[in-house]
Structure 1
Amino acid sequence: MSTPDAVAIERAVRAVPGVGAMHAGPHGTASSFTADGRIWGVRIAPDAIDIHVTSYPGLDLQALGKAVRAAVLAVAGDYAGKVRVHIEDLVEPDDLASDAGQPSPGRTS
């Protein structure tokens, strides 16, 4: 079993409609380190991939979780562990735009 690619997972998750942004998780613990830098919101362990995101009010969060899980599995190769989706917060689209000058909640390099 190969280790899934955190960058590919991040890109797949960000492409899911309804995902606002990647989230660092509780106390900033949800991240992976790669050659491309730190990937926030993706934590890969032998037994589970944890995905931490924000979303928008009014969406079906159960359906969003299923869509995120499917996106992760589509790029995770032969990974046999669980995929756990954590929707950490609900944000308004304007809130994300106002953070444009702030460090990205996704990748930092």
Structure 2
Amino acid sequence: MTDPTSPGAVPPGRGGAAVPAGAAPTPPPDPTGADLSSRIAELTRAVPGVADLHGGVFGEVATYLPGGRVSGVRIRPDHTEVHVTVFWDHPVRATADAVRTTLEALVGTPVLVTVEDVVHPTKENQ
């Protein structure tokens, strides 16, 4: 039996397993880090009518991470911005609504979708 007064022990009634003395607990995943922004980008590109993400006029719309960035996605505490390019043969508002609906459950905040450009579908970009 574990001594309830030892370092790292979980007090009775608190649940969970004790962390051995001297070991650091595993931190939870960062909900605003690379995993979330990459998942947002992946799901956005999968929406019918979305040609790609768009980084803005000067590439300023991005989630900046150590060693890289996810262009077209900006995660804020109170909302998430997604900037996209859509195909001209898909309804713009319906495509933006589909992106918003797809992402809101994932991010848990309002999703602001900006359509930056409209492009002609080709074999290379579909």
TM bucket, shorter chain: 0.7 to 0.9
Q: Is the 8 A contact 2:86 2:119 kept in 1?
A: yes
Paired residues for 1:15-26 under 5 Å: 15-26=46-57
Paired residues for 1:1-40 under 5 Å: 2-3=31-32, 5-34=36-65, 37-40=68-71
Paired residues for 1:63-102 under 5 Å: 63-76=94-107, 79-80=108-109, 82-94=110-122, 97=124
Name the % identity: 35
The alignment of Structure 1 onto Structure 2 pairs a total of residues equal to 93
Letter in structure 2 aligned against 1:93? P
Q: Distance in 2 between matches of 1:75 and 1:11?
A: 12
Letter in structure 2 aligned against 1:9? I
Structure label with greater radius of gyration? 2
Q: Equivalent of 1:62, from 93, 114, 121?
A: 93
Aligned-residue Cα RMSD (Å) equals 2.1
**4+ long deviations beyond 3 Å:** none
Q: Distance in 1 between matches of 2:105 and 2:113?
A: 15
Q: Which structure's relative contact order is higher, taking Cα pairs within 8 Å and 6+ residues apart? A: 1
Change (3 A) 1:3 1:38: closer
Q: Distance in 1 between matches of 2:95 and 2:78?
A: 22
Once the two structures are superposed, residues 27-73 of structure 1 have per-residue CA deviations (whole angstroms, 9 ceiling, x without a partner) of: 21110123673111100111221101101113211111110001112
User: TM-score, normalized by length of structure 2?
Assistant: 0.65
> How far 1:92 moved relative to its partner?
1.2
- The unaligned stretches of length 5 or more in structure 1 are 99-109
User: More helix per residue: 1 or 2?
Assistant: 1
